[in-house]
Amino acid sequence: MSFVTLVRHGQANTDARDELGYDQLSPLGVQQAEWLGAYFREAGETFARVYAGSLRRHQQTAAAIAADSPQDMVTDPRLNEMAYFTLAQLLEQQHGIGLPVDREGFLTHLPCLLNHWKQDRLEGAPERFSDFETRVRDALHEIAAGEGRALVVTSGGLIGMAMRLVLRLDIEALSHLCLAIENTSLHRIQPMGGALAVTQFNALPHLDTPDRQHARSHL
């Protein structure tokens, strides 16, 4: 078994209010990913295996990271994000709870949405909460069981769910953790004592300089 480095995609279309509109890297998102790729190369960080979800922002981020050193990549839809905007629309339509307009509003909205979803109170949801949990668990354990270090390009909600599974987080803790995850941040999970352990969370070594502080983003 080998450790897995999870990377959240670069900044996407922050003005979007639906799944398709959001699924496109901004110019800043491309730059974040290119800087991360340069950091890996300068640090001598190499990966035997590379995986990404099938969403456009995942593929764009992975391509920018490997800009001048392309390698085979496995596209795995199990690494795709939960359908957050669709779930939020269902929450508003069925329960009258609207999408927030600022970051502070998400501190209460996200746990509310996840609780409704977990309790199967969102009729017509694209997938059940338990199915999302299962596909993340299956993908994570399968990748961790492979040979050689693995890089996984995915989304914040999936990274949050991976942390929930390893750290046994409740919904409120999962929600707050998801909101803290920054674009192109690094998270590491590795086998330890017959189980998986978190050994790194939300690291941004490629943006951790005074001249790049402006490039940090959450949405």
pLDDT digits (tens, 9 = 90+) for 25-71: 999 999 999 999 999 999 999 999 999 999 999 999 999 998 655 46
145 with 195: CB under 8 angstroms?
no
Question: Which ranges of the chain have pLDDT less than 50?
Answer: 70
**What is the H or E stretch that residue 59 is in?**
helix 56-65
Can you give the pLDDT at residue 194? 83
CATH 3.30.70.20 fits 9-187+199-208, yes or no: no
The contacts of residue 8 (CB under 8 Å, 6+ apart) are 154, 155, 156, 159, 181, 182, 183, 184, 185, 187
91 with 122: CB under 8 angstroms?
yes
Beta-strand ranges (E) seen in the chain are 4-8, 49-52, 74-75, 150-154, 186-192, 195-203
Whole-model pTM over 0.85: yes
Calculate the CA 29 to chain-centre distance.
14
CA distance 105 to 91: 15
Other Cβ atoms less than 10 A from the Cβ of 211: the count is 7
Can you give the pLDDT at residue 101? 78
61 with 52: CB under 8 angstroms?
yes
Amino acid (1-letter code) at residue 135:
R
**Domain limits of the chain?**
9-187+199-208
Task: Name the token pair of 209.
Answer: 């300089």
> Over the Cα atoms of the chain, what is R_g?
17
